[in-house]
Amino acid sequence: MSIQPIGIFDSGVGGVSIWKEIHACLQQENTLYLADSKHAPYGNKSADDIVALSVKNTEYLLSQGCKLIVVACNTATTNAISHLRSNYDIPFIGIEPAIKPAALQTKTKSIGILATKGTLSSALFHQTAEAFTKDISVIEIVGEGLVPLIEAGAMDSEETIELLTTYMKPMLAANIDYLVLGCSHYPFLIPSLKKILPPHVTIIDSGAAVARQTKSILEQYNMLNHTTSAPTLQFFSNGDTRTLTQLLGNIQAEVFIEPLDF
Ligand code: DGL
């Protein structure tokens, strides 16, 4: 069991930002990443469609023998993780916008959240937001159009910078000092966001917390891989693999990028 891979899926390349944190934290673990780029973006789909896509991805990762699944997508987590947990008998780790740390640390009592429509309209997001942001103003902005640009590898194109500038305007007007990236694609926009935001705005995402949680669950279930051989790091995509290759460019490991037809 312990040598079986950790399965990770996202609507495309975004979850690679989470995979990097997991690989850094759990270097011995074999990993299998599934980029469902063919169906990206998930963010504007109905909750039922997001559940169906998450089930399809889970079935694929299980058919490959994964011991645990990381849903490296805020949209899929907030809409589908309870369904997955009740229907499959393996641990699932999800990712949600890091509202709590932002709400606890803000000095201006104003935080911004950039996420997909699917995440911001989910019941799970509302529960978390209500629990932690009672005396805080929360500026929620849907990052419409950003995921397709990231999927195309256009992290710092003129169009991307223009969209980000538009989305940051109401947040800056509300004097935010924390920007929560509530979509696993968005960490790849941090260099572009830093060009737009003043230095006192801290950008946070949930990648490192997801990696720590994955480690802790593997420990708890006695599933850590203690072998010393180099891990197998596999990446599967059912879309264009160019951006995936670009994002994995400097990874010091053997990486298989295979097109997948479903
Ligand atoms: N990367 C995803 C997320 O974290 C999904 C974005 C999308 O497909 O719209 O929400």
Q: What is the CATH number of the domain that holds 188?
A: 3.40.50.1860
106 and 200 in a single domain? The answer is: yes
- Out of 186, 204, 222, pick the residue that ends a domain: 204
Tell me the CA–centroid distance for residue 44 and ligand 1, in Å.
9
Total number of domains in the chain: 2
Q: What is the pLDDT of residue 257?
A: 77
Helix, strand, or coil (residue 170): helix
Q: Are residues 153 and 103 located together in one domain of the fold?
A: yes
Looking at the fold, whether 90 and 110 belong to one and the same domain comes out as no
pLDDT confidence of residue 64: 94
pTM of the complete model: 0.95
Q: Enumerate residues lining ligand 1, CB below 6 A.
A: 10-11, 14, 40-43, 73-75, 116, 119, 147, 183-185
Residue of 35, 73, 193, 223 marked catalytic: 73
* Same-domain status, 197 and 214: no
The answer to whether position 164 is within a domain reads yes
3-state secondary structure (DSSP) of residue 56: helix
183 noted as active-site residue: yes
Give me the pLDDT at residue 255, please: 73
What string of pLDDT tens digits covers the 262 residues of the chain? Answer: 689 999 999 999 999 999 999 999 999 999 999 999 999 999 999 999 999 999 999 999 999 999 999 999 999 999 999 999 999 999 999 999 999 999 999 999 999 999 999 999 999 999 999 999 999 999 999 999 999 999 999 999 999 999 999 999 999 999 999 999 999 999 999 999 999 999 999 999 999 999 999 999 999 999 999 998 889 999 999 988 899 989 998 786 667 777 777 7
Q: Among 73, 78, 81, name the best residue to mutate to test ligand 1's pocket (greatest count of ligand atoms within 8 A of Cβ).
A: 73
Nearest CA among 142, 95, 96, 80 for reference residue 116: 142
- Beta strand pairing status for 137-142 and 110-115? parallel
Regarding whether 103 and 68 lie in a shared domain, the answer is: no
Ligand 1 atom with the shortest distance to the CA of 14: 1
Catalytic residue among 179, 183, 189, 209: 183
Domain membership of residue 159 (yes or no) is: yes
**Structural domain that includes position 38:** 6-95+207-259
- φ/ψ (deg, to 5) at 68: -155, 150
User: Taking Cα atoms as reference points, which of 8, 67, 20 lies closest to residue 188?
Assistant: 20
In the chain, the amino acid numbered 160 is T
Radius of gyration over alpha carbons of the chain, in Å?
18
pLDDT of residue 253: 67
Cα 164 to ligand 1 centre (Å): 16
Number of H helices, E strands in the chain: 11, 10
Nearest CA to ligand 1 atom 2: 73
Of 204, 227, 249, which residue sits at a domain end? 204
